[in-house]
A and B are shown apart, each in its own frame.
Chain A
Protein backbone atom coordinates (compact mmCIF):
# COMPACT_ATOMS: atom_id res chain seq x y z
CA UNK A 1 0.00 0.00 0.00
CA UNK A 2 1.42 3.35 -0.99
CA UNK A 3 0.62 6.31 1.24
CA UNK A 4 0.96 9.58 -0.59
CA UNK A 5 -0.92 12.05 1.54
CA UNK A 6 -0.27 15.72 1.10
CA UNK A 7 -1.55 17.42 4.24
CA UNK A 8 -1.79 21.20 4.02
CA UNK A 9 0.29 23.04 6.61
CA UNK A 10 -2.76 25.06 7.56
CA UNK A 11 -4.57 21.86 8.56
CA UNK A 12 -1.68 20.82 10.79
CA UNK A 13 -1.57 24.31 12.35
CA UNK A 14 -5.29 24.16 13.10
CA UNK A 15 -4.94 20.67 14.56
CA UNK A 16 -2.07 21.88 16.74
CA UNK A 17 -4.38 24.59 18.07
CA UNK A 18 -6.89 21.91 19.03
CA UNK A 19 -9.41 22.61 16.28
CA UNK A 20 -11.70 19.59 16.32
CA UNK A 21 -12.65 19.76 12.65
CA UNK A 22 -8.96 19.75 11.71
CA UNK A 23 -8.29 16.80 14.01
CA UNK A 24 -11.10 14.86 12.40
CA UNK A 25 -9.76 15.72 8.95
CA UNK A 26 -6.40 14.27 9.99
CA UNK A 27 -8.13 11.18 11.33
CA UNK A 28 -10.02 10.70 8.06
CA UNK A 29 -6.83 11.18 6.05
CA UNK A 30 -4.81 8.61 7.99
CA UNK A 31 -7.27 6.13 9.48
CA UNK A 32 -6.88 3.61 6.66
CA UNK A 33 -3.05 3.55 6.52
CA UNK A 34 -2.84 3.41 10.31
CA UNK A 35 -5.40 0.62 10.54
CA UNK A 36 -3.81 -1.26 7.65
CA UNK A 37 -0.38 -1.06 9.27
CA UNK A 38 -1.73 -2.40 12.56
CA UNK A 39 -3.99 -5.00 10.96
CA UNK A 40 -1.21 -6.45 8.84
CA UNK A 41 0.85 -7.04 11.98
CA UNK A 42 -1.94 -8.06 14.37
CA UNK A 43 -4.10 -11.12 13.98
CA UNK A 44 -7.36 -9.75 15.37
CA UNK A 45 -9.21 -6.89 13.64
CA UNK A 46 -10.48 -5.54 16.96
CA UNK A 47 -6.89 -5.21 18.21
CA UNK A 48 -6.02 -3.21 15.11
CA UNK A 49 -9.02 -0.95 15.74
CA UNK A 50 -7.82 -0.39 19.29
CA UNK A 51 -4.40 0.55 17.95
CA UNK A 52 -6.06 2.97 15.53
CA UNK A 53 -7.84 4.65 18.44
CA UNK A 54 -4.77 4.71 20.69
CA UNK A 55 -2.65 6.10 17.87
CA UNK A 56 -4.98 9.02 17.22
CA UNK A 57 -5.34 9.83 20.89
CA UNK A 58 -1.55 10.01 21.02
CA UNK A 59 -1.55 12.19 17.90
CA UNK A 60 -4.09 14.60 19.42
CA UNK A 61 -2.09 14.80 22.65
CA UNK A 62 1.28 15.36 21.00
CA UNK A 63 0.54 17.07 17.66
CA UNK A 64 2.02 20.30 19.05
CA UNK A 65 5.37 18.52 19.21
CA UNK A 66 5.32 17.80 15.47
CA UNK A 67 7.67 20.40 13.99
CA UNK A 68 7.25 19.54 10.34
CA UNK A 69 10.47 17.56 10.04
CA UNK A 70 9.76 14.91 7.42
CA UNK A 71 6.40 13.79 6.12
CA UNK A 72 3.55 13.78 8.61
CA UNK A 73 2.86 10.15 7.70
CA UNK A 74 6.35 9.19 8.87
CA UNK A 75 5.61 10.73 12.29
CA UNK A 76 2.17 9.09 12.51
CA UNK A 77 3.51 5.75 11.29
CA UNK A 78 6.13 5.73 14.05
CA UNK A 79 3.41 6.23 16.65
CA UNK A 80 1.22 3.54 15.07
CA UNK A 81 4.00 0.97 14.80
CA UNK A 82 5.08 1.64 18.39
CA UNK A 83 1.52 1.15 19.64
CA UNK A 84 1.20 -2.05 17.59
CA UNK A 85 4.46 -3.50 18.85
CA UNK A 86 3.50 -2.61 22.43
CA UNK A 87 0.31 -4.59 21.97
CA UNK A 88 2.20 -7.56 20.52
CA UNK A 89 4.60 -7.51 23.49
CA UNK A 90 1.70 -7.27 25.91
CA UNK A 91 -0.11 -10.18 24.26
CA UNK A 92 3.09 -12.23 24.23
CA UNK A 93 3.45 -11.75 27.95
CA UNK A 94 -0.15 -12.84 28.45
CA UNK A 95 -0.26 -15.77 26.06
CA UNK A 96 3.40 -16.66 25.49
CA UNK A 97 2.99 -16.43 21.73
CA UNK A 98 5.42 -18.81 20.01
CA UNK A 99 7.83 -17.29 17.53
CA UNK A 100 8.14 -18.79 14.07
CA UNK A 101 10.92 -21.31 14.40
CA UNK A 102 11.05 -22.43 10.79
CA UNK A 103 14.46 -24.00 10.18
CA UNK A 104 16.44 -21.92 7.72
CA UNK A 105 16.83 -24.59 5.08
CA UNK A 106 19.10 -24.34 2.12
CA UNK A 107 16.95 -22.62 -0.44
CA UNK A 108 17.84 -24.23 -3.73
CA UNK A 109 18.44 -27.79 -2.53
CA UNK A 110 15.29 -29.20 -4.03
CA UNK A 111 15.71 -27.53 -7.36
CA UNK A 112 13.92 -24.52 -8.76
CA UNK A 113 10.45 -25.03 -7.26
CA UNK A 114 9.30 -21.43 -7.40
CA UNK A 115 5.60 -21.16 -6.78
CA UNK A 116 4.93 -17.67 -5.60
CA UNK A 117 1.17 -18.06 -6.01
CA UNK A 118 -1.42 -15.34 -6.22
CA UNK A 119 -1.83 -12.30 -3.96
CA UNK A 120 -4.61 -14.03 -2.09
CA UNK A 121 -2.40 -17.07 -1.44
CA UNK A 122 0.38 -14.89 -0.14
CA UNK A 123 -2.02 -12.87 2.00
CA UNK A 124 -3.39 -16.05 3.55
CA UNK A 125 0.07 -17.47 4.14
CA UNK A 126 1.17 -14.18 5.70
CA UNK A 127 -1.74 -14.35 8.13
CA UNK A 128 -0.45 -17.70 9.38
CA UNK A 129 2.79 -16.18 10.63
CA UNK A 130 3.17 -15.18 14.26
CA UNK A 131 2.46 -11.51 15.05
CA UNK A 132 6.14 -10.92 15.75
CA UNK A 133 7.14 -12.31 12.35
CA UNK A 134 4.39 -10.37 10.64
CA UNK A 135 5.60 -7.20 12.30
CA UNK A 136 9.20 -7.73 11.21
CA UNK A 137 8.25 -8.63 7.63
CA UNK A 138 5.79 -5.78 7.28
CA UNK A 139 8.00 -3.11 8.82
CA UNK A 140 11.08 -4.22 6.86
CA UNK A 141 9.73 -5.27 3.49
CA UNK A 142 6.71 -2.99 3.10
CA UNK A 143 7.34 0.05 5.27
CA UNK A 144 11.08 0.11 4.58
CA UNK A 145 12.34 0.13 8.17
CA UNK A 146 15.93 -1.00 8.70
CA UNK A 147 16.76 -3.91 10.98
CA UNK A 148 18.32 -1.39 13.36
CA UNK A 149 15.08 0.60 13.54
CA UNK A 150 12.99 -2.56 14.01
CA UNK A 151 15.32 -3.84 16.72
CA UNK A 152 15.09 -0.52 18.56
CA UNK A 153 11.31 -0.42 18.36
CA UNK A 154 10.93 -4.04 19.42
CA UNK A 155 13.51 -3.87 22.17
CA UNK A 156 15.40 -6.72 20.52
CA UNK A 157 18.73 -7.18 18.79
CA UNK A 158 19.46 -6.56 15.11
CA UNK A 159 20.25 -10.24 14.67
CA UNK A 160 16.83 -11.11 16.12
CA UNK A 161 15.19 -8.92 13.48
CA UNK A 162 17.26 -10.46 10.70
CA UNK A 163 16.65 -14.03 11.79
CA UNK A 164 12.90 -13.41 12.21
CA UNK A 165 12.76 -12.04 8.68
CA UNK A 166 14.64 -14.99 7.24
CA UNK A 167 12.54 -17.52 9.14
CA UNK A 168 9.33 -15.80 8.13
CA UNK A 169 10.28 -15.85 4.45
CA UNK A 170 11.31 -19.48 4.68
CA UNK A 171 7.93 -20.29 6.19
CA UNK A 172 6.08 -18.23 3.58
CA UNK A 173 7.96 -20.02 0.84
CA UNK A 174 7.07 -23.42 2.29
CA UNK A 175 3.39 -22.54 2.72
CA UNK A 176 3.15 -21.19 -0.81
CA UNK A 177 4.89 -24.29 -2.16
CA UNK A 178 2.50 -26.55 -0.30
CA UNK A 179 -0.46 -24.50 -1.48
CA UNK A 180 0.68 -24.70 -5.07
CA UNK A 181 1.06 -28.46 -4.89
CA UNK A 182 -2.15 -29.12 -2.99
Chain B
Protein backbone atom coordinates (compact mmCIF):
# COMPACT_ATOMS: atom_id res chain seq x y z
CA UNK B 1 0.00 0.00 0.00
CA UNK B 2 1.37 3.42 -0.92
CA UNK B 3 1.63 5.97 1.90
CA UNK B 4 2.10 9.73 2.10
CA UNK B 5 5.59 11.12 1.67
CA UNK B 6 6.85 13.89 3.93
CA UNK B 7 6.13 16.24 1.02
CA UNK B 8 2.52 15.01 1.06
CA UNK B 9 2.29 15.49 4.81
CA UNK B 10 3.69 19.01 4.54
CA UNK B 11 1.23 19.79 1.79
CA UNK B 12 -1.61 18.41 3.91
CA UNK B 13 -0.49 20.65 6.75
CA UNK B 14 -0.48 23.65 4.42
CA UNK B 15 -3.85 22.75 2.86
CA UNK B 16 -2.18 22.25 -0.52
CA UNK B 17 -2.23 18.47 -0.81
CA UNK B 18 -3.17 16.48 -3.88
CA UNK B 19 -6.59 14.87 -4.20
CA UNK B 20 -4.97 11.47 -3.65
CA UNK B 21 -3.27 12.54 -0.41
CA UNK B 22 -6.43 14.15 0.93
CA UNK B 23 -8.41 10.98 0.27
CA UNK B 24 -5.67 8.66 1.51
CA UNK B 25 -5.24 10.40 4.83
CA UNK B 26 -8.89 9.80 5.68
CA UNK B 27 -8.47 6.04 5.56
CA UNK B 28 -4.83 5.31 6.48
CA UNK B 29 -4.15 5.16 10.21
CA UNK B 30 -0.37 5.09 9.70
CA UNK B 31 -0.35 8.29 7.68
CA UNK B 32 -2.77 9.94 10.10
CA UNK B 33 -0.30 9.13 12.86
CA UNK B 34 2.60 10.51 10.77
CA UNK B 35 0.71 13.74 10.20
CA UNK B 36 -0.09 14.01 13.89
CA UNK B 37 3.61 13.45 14.70
CA UNK B 38 4.51 16.24 12.29
CA UNK B 39 2.13 18.59 14.06
CA UNK B 40 3.63 17.55 17.40
CA UNK B 41 7.19 18.19 16.21
CA UNK B 42 6.28 21.65 15.02
CA UNK B 43 4.50 22.42 18.28
CA UNK B 44 7.54 21.25 20.23
CA UNK B 45 9.90 23.35 18.12
CA UNK B 46 7.75 26.39 18.87
CA UNK B 47 7.90 25.56 22.57
CA UNK B 48 11.69 25.29 22.76
CA UNK B 49 13.14 27.63 25.38
CA UNK B 50 14.73 30.89 24.27
CA UNK B 51 18.51 30.76 23.97
CA UNK B 52 20.38 33.74 25.35
CA UNK B 53 23.77 35.11 24.33
CA UNK B 54 26.64 34.26 26.66
CA UNK B 55 28.16 37.72 26.32
CA UNK B 56 26.69 41.20 26.40
CA UNK B 57 27.11 42.58 22.89
CA UNK B 58 25.69 46.04 23.64
CA UNK B 59 29.07 47.61 24.55
CA UNK B 60 30.46 46.53 21.17
CA UNK B 61 27.41 47.91 19.35
CA UNK B 62 27.59 51.16 21.32
CA UNK B 63 31.29 51.65 20.53
CA UNK B 64 30.69 51.25 16.80
CA UNK B 65 27.73 53.64 16.96
CA UNK B 66 29.78 56.23 18.84
CA UNK B 67 32.68 55.91 16.41
CA UNK B 68 30.33 56.39 13.45
CA UNK B 69 28.78 59.45 15.10
CA UNK B 70 32.20 60.93 15.79
CA UNK B 71 33.11 60.48 12.12
CA UNK B 72 29.83 62.13 11.06
CA UNK B 73 30.45 65.01 13.47
CA UNK B 74 33.92 65.56 12.05
CA UNK B 75 32.44 65.61 8.56
CA UNK B 76 29.73 68.00 9.81
CA UNK B 77 32.43 70.30 11.23
CA UNK B 78 34.32 70.24 7.96
CA UNK B 79 31.10 70.86 6.08
CA UNK B 80 30.01 73.81 8.20
CA UNK B 81 33.51 75.23 7.88
CA UNK B 82 33.15 74.96 4.13
CA UNK B 83 29.79 76.70 4.34
CA UNK B 84 31.33 79.56 6.26
CA UNK B 85 34.06 79.87 3.65
CA UNK B 86 31.45 79.80 0.91
CA UNK B 87 29.52 82.51 2.70
CA UNK B 88 32.63 84.69 2.98
CA UNK B 89 33.27 84.22 -0.73
CA UNK B 90 29.65 85.05 -1.49
CA UNK B 91 30.00 88.21 0.57
CA UNK B 92 32.99 89.31 -1.48
CA UNK B 93 31.15 88.61 -4.69
CA UNK B 94 28.13 90.57 -3.51
CA UNK B 95 30.15 93.60 -2.52
CA UNK B 96 32.22 93.87 -5.64
CA UNK B 97 29.72 94.26 -8.48
CA UNK B 98 27.36 96.93 -7.29
CA UNK B 99 28.12 98.80 -4.06
CA UNK B 100 24.67 99.88 -2.74
CA UNK B 101 22.32 96.88 -2.99
CA UNK B 102 25.31 94.52 -2.90
CA UNK B 103 26.56 96.14 0.27
CA UNK B 104 23.22 95.66 2.00
CA UNK B 105 23.06 92.02 0.97
CA UNK B 106 26.63 91.55 2.11
CA UNK B 107 25.84 92.97 5.51
CA UNK B 108 22.83 90.70 5.88
CA UNK B 109 24.80 87.71 4.71
CA UNK B 110 27.65 88.45 7.10
CA UNK B 111 25.21 88.81 9.95
CA UNK B 112 23.47 85.52 9.12
CA UNK B 113 26.82 83.78 8.80
CA UNK B 114 28.02 85.08 12.17
CA UNK B 115 24.76 84.12 13.84
CA UNK B 116 24.99 80.65 12.32
CA UNK B 117 28.54 80.19 13.60
CA UNK B 118 27.56 81.37 17.08
CA UNK B 119 24.64 78.98 17.14
CA UNK B 120 26.88 76.11 15.97
CA UNK B 121 29.12 76.84 18.97
CA UNK B 122 26.13 76.89 21.31
CA UNK B 123 24.90 73.61 19.88
CA UNK B 124 28.23 71.94 20.59
CA UNK B 125 27.66 72.51 24.30
CA UNK B 126 24.43 70.52 24.25
CA UNK B 127 25.23 67.94 21.60
CA UNK B 128 26.81 65.25 23.72
CA UNK B 129 26.14 61.57 23.09
CA UNK B 130 24.24 59.51 25.58
CA UNK B 131 22.06 62.22 27.07
CA UNK B 132 18.40 61.55 27.44
CA UNK B 133 15.88 63.12 25.07
CA UNK B 134 12.17 63.21 25.74
CA UNK B 135 10.09 61.79 22.91
CA UNK B 136 8.79 65.23 21.94
CA UNK B 137 12.25 66.80 21.98
CA UNK B 138 13.70 63.91 20.00
CA UNK B 139 11.08 64.27 17.29
CA UNK B 140 11.60 68.03 17.13
CA UNK B 141 15.39 67.71 16.97
CA UNK B 142 15.18 65.11 14.22
CA UNK B 143 12.85 67.29 12.17
CA UNK B 144 15.01 70.40 12.60
CA UNK B 145 18.19 68.53 11.68
CA UNK B 146 16.50 67.19 8.56
CA UNK B 147 15.36 70.67 7.51
CA UNK B 148 18.84 72.12 8.10
CA UNK B 149 20.33 69.33 6.01
CA UNK B 150 17.99 70.23 3.16
CA UNK B 151 19.11 73.88 3.30
CA UNK B 152 22.77 72.85 3.45
CA UNK B 153 22.24 70.69 0.39
CA UNK B 154 20.68 73.63 -1.45
CA UNK B 155 23.52 75.93 -0.41
CA UNK B 156 26.04 73.39 -1.65
CA UNK B 157 24.39 73.20 -5.07
CA UNK B 158 23.79 76.94 -5.64
CA UNK B 159 25.63 79.11 -8.08
CA UNK B 160 26.68 81.85 -5.65
CA UNK B 161 26.62 84.60 -8.28
CA UNK B 162 23.16 83.75 -9.55
CA UNK B 163 20.55 84.74 -6.95
CA UNK B 164 22.14 86.76 -4.16
CA UNK B 165 18.93 87.64 -2.33
CA UNK B 166 17.92 84.01 -2.31
CA UNK B 167 21.31 83.07 -0.87
CA UNK B 168 20.83 85.51 2.01
CA UNK B 169 17.33 84.13 2.57
CA UNK B 170 18.67 80.57 2.74
CA UNK B 171 21.26 81.56 5.34
CA UNK B 172 18.64 83.41 7.37
CA UNK B 173 16.34 80.38 7.25
CA UNK B 174 19.27 78.26 8.41
CA UNK B 175 19.91 80.60 11.31
CA UNK B 176 16.26 80.42 12.33
CA UNK B 177 16.28 76.61 12.29
CA UNK B 178 19.60 76.52 14.14
CA UNK B 179 18.10 78.79 16.78
CA UNK B 180 15.15 76.42 17.22
CA UNK B 181 17.54 73.47 17.39
CA UNK B 182 19.62 75.11 20.11
CA UNK B 183 16.44 75.93 22.03
CA UNK B 184 15.26 72.33 21.76
CA UNK B 185 18.62 71.05 23.01
CA UNK B 186 18.80 73.65 25.77
CA UNK B 187 15.28 72.81 26.94
CA UNK B 188 16.22 69.14 27.04
CA UNK B 189 19.37 69.90 29.01
CA UNK B 190 17.42 71.93 31.57
CA UNK B 191 14.78 69.20 31.74
CA UNK B 192 17.29 66.51 32.68
CA UNK B 193 19.27 68.88 34.89
CA UNK B 194 22.48 69.01 32.86
* B 1-36 to A, binary, CB cutoff 8 A, 1 in contact else 0: 011111111100000000000000000111101101
- 8 A Cβ contacts from A130-182 to B: 137-138, 141-142, 162-163, 165-167, 169-170, 172-173, 176
Q: Which residues of A contact B50 (CB under 8 A)?
A: 1, 32-33, 36
Interface membership of A62, Cβ < 8 A? no
- B46–A162 CB distance below 8 A: no
- B45–A126 CB distance below 8 A: yes
Could you tell me the distance between the alpha carbons of A60 and B69 in the complex, rounded to whole angstroms? Answer: 11
In the assembled complex, how far is the CB of residue B123 from the closest CB belonging to chain A, in whole angstroms?
14
Q: Which residues of A contact B54 (CB under 8 A)?
A: 45, 49
Q: Which residues of B contact A141 (CB under 8 A)?
A: 42, 45-46
The size class of the interface chain A forms with chain B is: 35 or more
Give the contacting residue for A122; candidates B33, B41, B65, B130; CB below 8 A: B41
- B138–A106 CB distance below 8 A: no
Interface membership of B194, Cβ < 8 A? no
Interface membership of A4, Cβ < 8 A? no
Q: Which residues of B contact A9 (CB under 8 A)?
A: 135
- A106–B4 CB distance below 8 A: yes
Interface membership of A123, Cβ < 8 A? yes
A14-B134, A114-B36, A166-B5 are known; give 4 further A-B pairs, CB within 8 A: A19-B131, A36-B51, A108-B34, A173-B34
A residues at B contact (CB < 8 Å): 1-2, 9-11, 13-14, 16-24, 27-28, 31-33, 35-36, 39-40, 45, 48-49, 52-53, 56-57, 60-61, 64, 104-109, 111-112, 114, 116, 119, 122-123, 126, 137-138, 141-142, 162-163, 165-167, 169-170, 172-173, 176
